[in-house]
Amino acid sequence: MSSSRDNGRRPVRVSLVVTLKNEAKTVKELLRSIAAQTRLPDELIIADGGSEDETVDLIRSCPQPVPLELLVIPGANISAGRNAAIAAATHDVIAVTDGGCVLDSFWLEKLIEPLEKNSEVALVAGFYAPLVGSWFQGLVACATLPLANEIRADRFMPSARSIAYRRAVWAQVGGYPEWLEIGEDMYFNHAWRKAGVEYRVVPEAVVYWRQRSMFRGVMKQYFRYAEGDGIAGMYPERHLIRFAAYGWLLAGPRLARAIPGYRLLTAGAATIYVERRWRRIPVFLRSWPVSARFAAIPTMPGMLAAIDAAKMAGYISGRWKRLKGETGR
């Protein structure tokens, strides 16, 4: 077997950082997936934001093959917890994931490979895929999560579920924004991209992410994501397009009289919008019967519309909070 110094690699030491809160139902699975890595982290730093369940006790009782430091910080949001964990880390390379996730066994090995091979690379974006336990979760995954072959390296924005970088990147951009309750990883992404950080995208470095199992939870999730965008001023063009598209639909009766081919144009645009989600059905719902997969086809437009409504409401809320100065910044 070749050593890690082969193929021009320069081995690095890695601190794996995890933030979580109230993850008693999932934390053991996460810790087992960390212990099963083909390349173990050199240390594990977990920041708990003040769990009110058995999360902390389970972490302390679960044996780990690497040094573990547990920081219990009641009231800390994700940014504050992550910043504290990174500040406590002792190594130059920081790998990041979150509670509620399960790591592919090759995740860390694949994630840090570009950092070992090229000293100019300062950040590596891994990928994420859904954990689907129900038909509804599969439907949500189809509506919201890309397949690996859909992403473009020049546009892909990694999630804090699957990313690694040199500590200097975190310091250069001022860490994660502690004034932002949600969407902090996208804000961090914009900051390092603006700074011109050299990065690589590694779709093979996969973290599995558990989907919300109830409709109300999904609506709240995407409301909060969009609210974070509004507070931070992120993606204004994307949200403007969404408002314009649904405004076009609501004005349908009037526009149909004024614009020849309105219905055909609208149907074509809607099909293009939904078609990519339909193509995910055989992947994310592959373990379900054919009838269940077919049922997802007519259900998808309604799910997309509901999620879009949650995003529009969330963005309005976020912009209003920003306007009133309630962001904590």
Average pLDDT over residues 5-28: 87
Position 5 scores a pLDDT of 42
Position 10 scores a pLDDT of 80
Judge if 185 and 246 occupy the same domain.
Answer: no
Judge if 180 and 42 occupy the same domain.
Answer: yes
End-of-domain residue from the set 177, 210, 243? 210
Is the per-residue pLDDT at 8 higher than 70?
A: no
Position 255 scores a pLDDT of 84
pTM of the model: 0.91
Average pLDDT over residues 15-31: 96
Is the per-residue pLDDT at 40 higher than 70?
A: yes
> How high does pLDDT run on average in the chain?
93
Position 328 scores a pLDDT of 63
Buried b (16+ CB within 10 A) or exposed e, 104-132: bebbbbbbbbbbbeeeebbbbbbbbbbbb
Judge if 121 and 19 occupy the same domain.
Answer: yes
CA atoms within 13 A on the CB side of 100: 16
Judge if 220 and 204 occupy the same domain.
Answer: no
Position 7 scores a pLDDT of 56
Task: Look up residue 256 and give its amino acid.
Answer: A
213-270: pLDDT as tens digits: 999 999 999 999 999 999 999 999 999 999 999 999 988 888 888 888 888 999 999 9
63-72: pLDDT as tens digits: 889 999 999 9
Judge if 122 and 267 occupy the same domain.
Answer: no
Judge if 147 and 293 occupy the same domain.
Answer: no
End-of-domain residue from the set 210, 245, 266? 210
pLDDT confidence of 4, banded at 50, 70, 90?
very low
Q: Is residue 329 part of a domain?
A: no
43-59: pLDDT as tens digits: 999 999 999 999 999 99
Q: Is residue 80 part of a domain?
A: yes
Judge if 115 and 191 occupy the same domain.
Answer: yes
Instruction: Give percent of the chain with pLDDT exceeding 70.
Output: 97
In what order do the strands lie in the sheet containing 43-48?
68-72, 43-48, 14-20, 93-98, 163-166, 123-131, 199-210, 101-103
Judge if 222 and 202 occupy the same domain.
Answer: no
Q: Is residue 114 part of a domain?
A: yes
87-100: pLDDT as tens digits: 999 999 999 999 99
Judge if 221 and 169 occupy the same domain.
Answer: no
Average pLDDT over residues 310-328: 90
End-of-domain residue from the set 189, 210, 231? 210
Average pLDDT over residues 157-180: 96
Position 11 scores a pLDDT of 87
Judge if 190 and 265 occupy the same domain.
Answer: no
Q: Which domain holds residue 320?
A: 215-324
